[in-house]
Amino acid sequence: MKPQGIPPTTTRISQTKMSFRGKNAVVTGGAGGIGLQVSKQLLAAGAAKVAIIDLQDNLEEFVKLRAAHPTQSVMIVKMDVANKKGVEATYEEIAKTFGNIDIVVNVAGIFNDKDVQRTLLVNLGGIINSTLSALPYMGKDNGGKGGIVVNMSSVVGLDPMFIIPVYGATKAGIINFTRCLANEKYYQRSGIKFVTVCPGATMTDMFTNFTEKIIFPETSDETYRILDRLNKQSAADVSRCILNVLEKDKNGAVYVIEGKRVYPLEMKPQWTGKEQAL
What is the per-residue pLDDT across 21-57, written as a single tens digit (0 to 9) for each?
A: 999 999 999 999 999 999 999 999 999 999 999 999 9
Confidence band of 10 (pLDDT split at 50, 70, 90): very low
pLDDT recorded at residue 16: 42
Which are the contacts of 129, defined by CB distance < 8 A and separation ≥ 6?
81, 82, 83, 84, 87, 88
Q: Above pLDDT 70, what percent of the chain? A: 91
pTM for this prediction: 0.89
Among 137, 167, 186, 263, which one carries the catalytic annotation? 167
Domains in the chain: boundaries: 22-261
Instruction: List Cα–Cα distances, 99 to 52, 92, 138, in angstroms.
Output: 16, 10, 10
pLDDT recorded at residue 278: 53
Of 128-132, 208-212, 253-257, the poorest mean pLDDT is in 208-212
Q: Is the pLDDT of residue 1 over 60?
A: no
pLDDT recorded at residue 150: 98
Instruction: List Cα–Cα distances, 23 to 105, 134, 235, in angstroms.
Output: 13, 15, 23
Distance, in Å, from the CA atom of 195 to the CA atom of 171, rounded to the nearest integer, reads 14
Distance, in Å, from the CA atom of 223 to the CA atom of 220, rounded to the nearest integer, reads 5
DSSP for residue 264: E
Give yes or no for a contact between 225 and 213, defined as CB atoms under 8 angstroms apart: no
Q: Is 167 marked active-site?
A: yes
Q: How many residues are given for the chain?
A: 278
Which are the contacts of 189, defined by CB distance < 8 A and separation ≥ 6?
139, 140, 141
What is the per-residue pLDDT across 50-102, written as a single tens digit (0 to 9) for each?
A: 999 999 999 999 999 999 999 999 999 999 999 999 999 999 999 999 999 99
- What's the CATH fold of domain 22-261? Rossmann fold (3.40.50)
Q: Is the pLDDT of residue 187 over 60?
A: yes
Give yes or no for a contact between 202 and 232, defined as CB atoms under 8 angstroms apart: yes
Give yes or no for a contact between 25 and 105, defined as CB atoms under 8 angstroms apart: yes
